[in-house]
């Protein structure tokens, strides 16, 4: 996508969650995680690449010991609808006998997060919790619910705060919905 096409998408988009509301949501989630995991010495796993923004804002607000690593798994690639799950990078840090907190940008259909949790439990994690910046309201059940949620969003094609539209705009401090989608 050209820079002009990306700018047009942003110019026509609907603002769903301002930068200020996003920052407040991260602060609230950090407090909830701290209350639950401060004594657990958890392994925090960021799901690349969408979780980069949320994780980068969240980690400095977790004032307790933790280990950090990442994984890269996707169902989307450069398309807008989910497909076959692909594991690109597994965590290097062993998860056996650990409390694991998986951090991601959005809980959409929930298939990816459910598979991540299943795999981490199979590798011996004692508990697998999830924190997502956004939970999309699909109007039906999902195979997994996030333990910590920053904001709830309508069932629209969203971007910003780690979520992209055709590869662009992950870097926005707010969340937008593509016009008409």
Instruction: Tell me what pLDDT residue 82 has.
Output: 53
Share of residues in the chain with pLDDT > 90 (%): 85
Instruction: Tell me what pLDDT residue 157 has.
Output: 95
Q: Which domains does the chain have, with CATH numbers?
A: 3-166 (3.40.50.2020)
| Predicted structure pTM score | 0.92
The enclosing H or E element of 7 equals: helix 3-12
Instruction: Tell me what pLDDT residue 49 has.
Output: 85
The residue assigned the tokens 């639950």 is: 36
Instruction: Name residues whose C-beta falls within 8 Å of residue 4's C-beta, 6 or more positions apart in sequence.
Output: none
Phi and psi at 20, nearest 5°, equal -65, -45
Please name every residue paired with 29 in a beta bridge, in sequence order, or none if there are none.
none
The residues of the chain scoring below 70 in pLDDT are 75-83, 181
Instruction: Tell me what pLDDT residue 148 has.
Output: 98
């Amino acid at each position: 996508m050209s820079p002009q096409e990306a700018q047009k998408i942003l110019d026509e988009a609907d603002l769903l969650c301002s930068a200020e509301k996003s920052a407040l949501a991260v602060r609230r989630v950090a407090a909830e995680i701290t209350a639950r995991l401060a004594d657990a010495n958890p392994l925090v796993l960021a799901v690349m690449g969408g979780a980069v923004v949320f994780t980068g804002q969240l980690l400095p607000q977790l004032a307790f010991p933790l280990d950090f690593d990442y994984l890269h798994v996707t169902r989307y690639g450069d398309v807008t609808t989910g497909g076959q799950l692909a594991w690109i990078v597994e965590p290097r840090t062993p998860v056996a006998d650990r409390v694991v907190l998986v951090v991601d940008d959005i809980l959409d259909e929930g298939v990816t997060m459910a598979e991540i949790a299943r795999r981490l439990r199979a590798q011996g994690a004692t508990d697998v919790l999830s924190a997502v910046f956004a939970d999309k309201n699909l109007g039906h059940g999902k195979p997994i619910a996030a333990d910590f949620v920053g904001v709830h969003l309508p069932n629209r094609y969203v971007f910003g705060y780690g979520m992209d539209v055709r590869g662009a705009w992950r870097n926005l401090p707010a969340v937008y919905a593509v016009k008409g989608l």
